[in-house]
Amino acid sequence: MPDALTQNPILNSPYSEPCKHFDSNERGLTDEVLDSRRPSRFYIPVPRAKTKQKQLDLNLADGAFGVELQKENEFINKIRVKIKEWRDNTARRRHLSRGRETETIQADLWKMRP
C-alpha cells in the first residue's frame, strides 16, 4: 500500500462534500490525490470456475480488476449531481453561525461516545 495512503488516509471533512480522492488503477489505490469526487462504481467479482481443468491465473497487473469488472452506479451519481445543485442553490442561506453549528455537532458527538 502506498505511503501517502497509509500516513493520511482521510482527505475530506465529514461536514462538507468530498472534494478529493486517491486515484486508482488496475492494481488498486495509488498515492496520487485527485481534486474531484470519486464516481460511484460497483466492483463485480468474477467467480472461479468449478471445473478440474487448469484455471487461468488472474493477474492484477494484467487487468483482472480492470474496466471490464467495474460498472458505474448511474443512480448514485445522478443523486450526487442533484445534491450538489441543491447545495449550490441554498448556499446563500449560510451565515456566520455555520462554524458554531459544526462545533455544536462535534461536542454532541463527543458527549455520546461510549
Position 99 in a domain: no
**What pLDDT is stored for residue 60 in this prediction?**
47
Residue 31 C-alpha cell reads as 498515492
Range of the domain at 8: 1-45+59-74
pLDDT for 48: 64
CA distances in angstroms from 20 to 8, 36, 37, 39, 71, listed in the order given = 13, 5, 6, 11, 21
CB 58 within 8 A of CB 47: no
Residue 63 lies in a domain: yes
93 part of a folded domain? no
Residue 81 maps to a domain: no
Q: What is the pLDDT of residue 41?
A: 85
**Residue 25: inside a domain, yes or no?**
yes
Give the per-residue pLDDT at 77: 92
Query: Does residue 5 belong to any structural domain of this protein?
Result: yes
Is residue 39 included in any domain, yes or no? yes
What pLDDT, on a 0 to 100 scale, did the predictor assign at position 35?
A: 93
pLDDT at 62: 47
Grid coordinates representing 35? 481534486
List the pLDDT tens digit at each of the 114 positions of the chain.
457 777 888 888 887 888 998 888 777 788 889 999 888 888 777 766 666 555 455 544 444 444 457 788 999 999 999 988 888 887 666 555 555 666 777 777 777 776
- Please tell me the total count of domains within the chain: 1
> Does any domain span residue 34?
yes
